[in-house]
Amino acid sequence: MPHNNPIILAIDTSCDETSIAVTQGQKILSNAIASQIELHKQYGGVFPTVAKQAHKDNIEPTIKAALKKAKIKLSELTAIAVTQGPGLAPALEIGITKAKELGQQLKIPVLPINHIEGHSISVLAQPTPKNKNFKPINPQFPVLSIIVSGGHTEFILINKIGSYQKLGFTLDDAAGECLDKVGRLLGLGYPAGSVVEKLAKKGNAKAFPFPLPMTTSNDFNLSFSGIKTHSKNAIKKLETEKKLNPKTIADFCASLQFGVFKHLTYKLKKLLTKIEIKEIWLGGGVAANVLLRANLRKIAQKKQIKFRAPYSKKLTGDNAAMIGVAAHYLYLRSSKKELETLKKTPIDRKPHWSIENNSI
Ligand code: AMP
Ligand code: MG
């Protein structure tokens, strides 16, 4: 019999973190993350073969750690969830292979999950309370999910969980990617987003005015490559004039953040004049940024729209807890027959899987 409160072991190996979580409904029983950031720093980005090997090395111990923290035995699991895409193909492969192996061993379904769906649903993932009083979040639809990460910047309309429509997306770089690339030019290391945020606190956001992109287009798409090019030229000028110093770097970070978020909020405000929604959800690595959260919350409040962001920074970057919570809803909406099929169906990596084609 299908369960109505399944216990799920979720796996995410989409990029540079090996993450394993145990979840039950919206409740996170554990969320273990083995980060590879240190390994990739020397390359200034994620190196696929290095990522694949690190996932291979980390996956077993991370599964053990997640089960131990959750105090759950393999035999108690109802289903396995795994990120099928989007992401780095060789990295995805490690998680999928392990998920299928566990599914077959335990004779339980393996639920393939879209990583961007996971980021959208990350706002619903909650810690296990010390007392027994767990109150699930009961969202009101329609929802506008804003995904701001290192690889994606998207506005997604959610009419119900499982039904997604992209209303706008970046035509070139993602917002996080732009912060990372400009941060690198400023010598801030990789990934630079959180360093930009820290330095920006001491800087003047008006010191380096950025052009606002795509104000004449009537769609809700975004573009960050102009901000990147503008930055490149401005930094070159500062270098030539020997004016690149801690003060100008802090000013540049504050101005860059202001420019990137202004573009996003400009498009959001435009979008909100066209659609009626009840809630705004923020997800993805850049969702850790306090200024971005404050800007979006302000816009939502003005329109009397509920604003939600992940409760912890551990849920903004890549993590498997969000995959487990997304899988919970997929499990509940699947028939007994579909769940049986999910025990046997092979899962292929989908490195470019769009959230709109969430076919299961
Ligand atoms: P993800 O692609 O979801 O793994 O998120 C990683 C991206 O989030 C990278 O581009 C980081 O630079 C960015 N990021 C992480 N923390 C922050 C922060 N506090 N402010 C801005 N960007 C951030
Ligand atoms: Mg991600």
In a structure prediction context, what are the per-residue pLDDT tens digits for the chain, which is 360 residues long? 567 899 999 999 998 889 999 999 999 999 999 887 777 677 777 778 878 888 899 999 999 999 999 999 999 999 999 999 999 999 999 999 999 999 999 999 999 999 999 999 999 999 998 877 889 999 999 999 999 999 999 999 999 999 999 999 999 999 999 999 999 999 999 889 999 999 999 999 999 999 999 999 999 999 999 999 999 999 999 999 999 999 999 999 999 999 999 999 999 999 999 999 999 999 999 999 999 999 999 999 999 999 999 999 999 999 999 999 999 999 999 999 999 999 999 999 999 999 987 754
In this prediction, residue 40 carries a pLDDT of 66
Residue 191 near residue 180, CB atoms below 8 Å: yes
In this prediction, residue 250 carries a pLDDT of 98
In this prediction, residue 359 carries a pLDDT of 53
**22 C-alpha to center of ligand 1: Å?**
24
Helix (H) or strand (E) holding 60: helix 48-70
Is residue 150 within 6 Å of ligand 1 at its C-beta?
yes
Residue 91 near residue 14, CB atoms below 8 Å: yes
The CATH homologous superfamily to which domain 7-125+314-357 belongs is: ATPase, nucleotide binding domain (3.30.420.40)
Residue 58 near residue 314, CB atoms below 8 Å: no
Q: What is this structure's pTM?
A: 0.95
**315 C-alpha to center of ligand 2: Å?**
10
Q: Residue type for 279, please?
A: E
Could you count the other beta carbons within 10 Å of the beta carbon of residue 48?
14
CA distance 308 to 243: 41
**319 C-alpha to center of ligand 1: Å?**
13
Nearest CA to ligand 1 atom 11: 193
- Name residues with Cβ closer than 5 Å to ligand 2, which is an ion: 149, 318
Of 338, 329, 342, which is closest to residue 4 (Cα–Cα)? Answer: 329
C-alpha triplet 50, 70, 17: angle, nearest 5°: 15
Is residue 284 within 6 Å of ligand 1 at its C-beta?
yes
Is residue 35 within 6 Å of ligand 1 at its C-beta?
no
| Backbone dihedral angles phi then psi of residue 102, each to the nearest 5 degrees | -70, -40
Token pair recorded at residue 256: 């860059």
Task: Say if domain 143-308 classifies as CATH 3.30.420.40.
Answer: yes
Q: Residue type for 50, please?
A: V
From residue 159, alpha-carbon distances to 144, 153, 164, 275 in Å are 9, 19, 7, 12
Is residue 116 within 6 Å of ligand 1 at its C-beta?
no
Is residue 180 within 6 Å of ligand 1 at its C-beta?
yes
* Residue 280 three-state SS: strand
In this prediction, residue 173 carries a pLDDT of 96
Strand-pairing partners, residue 156, are 145, 166
In this prediction, residue 193 carries a pLDDT of 97
- Could you check whether 7-125+314-357 and 143-308 share the same CATH topology? yes
Helix (H) or strand (E) holding 327: helix 321-333
Is residue 324 within 6 Å of ligand 1 at its C-beta?
no
Closest atom of ligand 1 to CA, residue 313: 16
Please give the distance of CA 196 from its chain centroid, rounded to a whole number: 19
**75 C-alpha to center of ligand 1: Å?**
36
In this prediction, residue 301 carries a pLDDT of 98
Q: Residue type for 179, please?
A: L
**182 C-alpha to center of ligand 1: Å?**
13
In this prediction, residue 290 carries a pLDDT of 98
Q: To test the ligand 1 pocket, which listed residue (286, 292, 314) has its Cβ within 8 A of the most ligand atoms?
A: 286
Token pair recorded at residue 282: 């923020």
In this prediction, residue 54 carries a pLDDT of 87
* Residue 176 three-state SS: helix
Is residue 322 within 6 Å of ligand 1 at its C-beta?
no
Residues 6+ apart with CB under 8 A from 306: 140, 278, 279, 280, 300
User: For residue 148, which ligand has an atom nearest its CA?
Assistant: 1
CA distance 265 to 259: 10
**Which residue in the block uniquely carries the two structure tokens 């090996």?**
18
**158 C-alpha to center of ligand 2: Å?**
19
Domain-wise residue ranges, the chain: 7-125+314-357, 143-308
